[in-house]
Amino acid sequence: MFEAVVRDGIVLKPLETWHADVFAEHMNRARDHIRPWVGPAFVTDTVEDARATLQRYATAAATDGARLYGLWDDGQIVGGVMFVAFDPAWGICEIGCWLEPDAVGKGLITRSVQMLMDWAFLERGMSRIEWRCRTDNDRSVAVARRLGMRSEGILRSSWVYDGNRYDTEVFSILRNESLSTARL
Ligand SMILES: CC(C)(COP(=O)(O)OP(=O)(O)OC[C@H]1O[C@@H](n2cnc3c(N)ncnc32)[C@H](O)[C@@H]1OP(=O)(O)O)[C@@H](O)C(=O)NCCC(=O)NCCS
């Protein structure tokens, strides 16, 4: 199986259905931290539901759609990145990410997302990559800006969490903009 070194011994490699047990253990460490910021279907409580997430992505990847990659530290998952959506016909994809609390602040996501961007633009010829997050998700906004993404506007009252509504900011980067972005 392929894996890419991100930094400090942490590697990025695909998450597959047979990783359900270790993915569920990771979710136990990450759940409370990520719940306000990611889609509710991604935050699971059981091994079976964790496996269902992995199966959903595996099915999408089989048709050249969404894909899921884990950040691995010596056999443990500490977070990951994904193509939330991947449309080669239109040349558009969306990237997302998450980390468990102990992995925050180490530069793992910026570097990993850059790897996905390089693959999407250079190997797959995509034209546009999107990034969506709650406007008050400062760390996610910082990742988008660090990678040279441009804010395209706010989807007002488009995110629901715990009975409250929040705004979503949409960022994007185009292929010609990415090629001139400094590598991290
Ligand atoms: C969004 C999220 C993944 C970002 O994590 P992050 O650790 O801030 O992002 P990175 O991995 O790119 O790390 C950047 C940080 O590492 C620091 N860093 C440390 N060593 C570094 C290195 N060698 N290279 C680059 N940055 C480094 C940077 O200075 C930066 O910290 P700062 O913002 O305090 O200055 C994380 O906050 C999270 O899991 N949030 C909850 C889930 C979520 O919001 N998902 C996204 C939904 S849209």
Nearest to 149 by CA among 81, 104, 94, 98: 94
Ligand 1 lined by 30 (C-beta under 6 Å) = no
pLDDT band at 184 (very low <50, low <70, confident <90, very high): very low
pLDDT band at 1 (very low <50, low <70, confident <90, very high): low
Nearest to 34 by CA among 166, 161, 167, 168: 161
Residue 183 pLDDT > 60, yes or no?
A: no
Residue 181 pLDDT > 70, yes or no?
A: no
Q: What is the pLDDT of residue 182?
A: 46
pLDDT tens track for 167-177: 999 999 999 99
pLDDT tens track for 90-129: 999 999 999 999 999 999 999 999 999 999 999 999 999 9
Shortest-distance atom of ligand 1 to CA 137: 44
CA 104–ligand 1 middle distance (angstroms): 5
Four-way CATH pick for 4-178: 3.40.640.10, 3.40.630.30, 3.30.9.10, 3.40.50.720: 3.40.630.30
Give the residue, out of 43, 71, 109, with the most ligand 1 atoms within 8 A of its beta carbon, to mutate for a pocket test.
109
Ligand 1 lined by 108 (C-beta under 6 Å) = yes
Quick check: helix, strand or coil at residue 87? strand
Q: What is the pLDDT of residue 64?
A: 98
Yes or no: say if 68 and 80 are a contact pair by the CB < 8 Å rule.
yes
pLDDT tens track for 19-63: 999 999 999 999 999 999 999 999 999 999 999 999 999 999 999
User: ∠ CA 93-94-100 to the nearest 5 degrees?
Assistant: 145
pLDDT tens track for 144-157: 999 999 999 999 99
Give the residue, out of 104, 111, 167, 171, with the most ligand 1 atoms within 8 A of its beta carbon, to mutate for a pocket test.
104
- Domains in the chain: boundaries: 4-178
CA 64–ligand 1 middle distance (angstroms): 28
pLDDT band at 8 (very low <50, low <70, confident <90, very high): confident
Helix axes 108-118, 138-146, angle to 10 degrees: 50
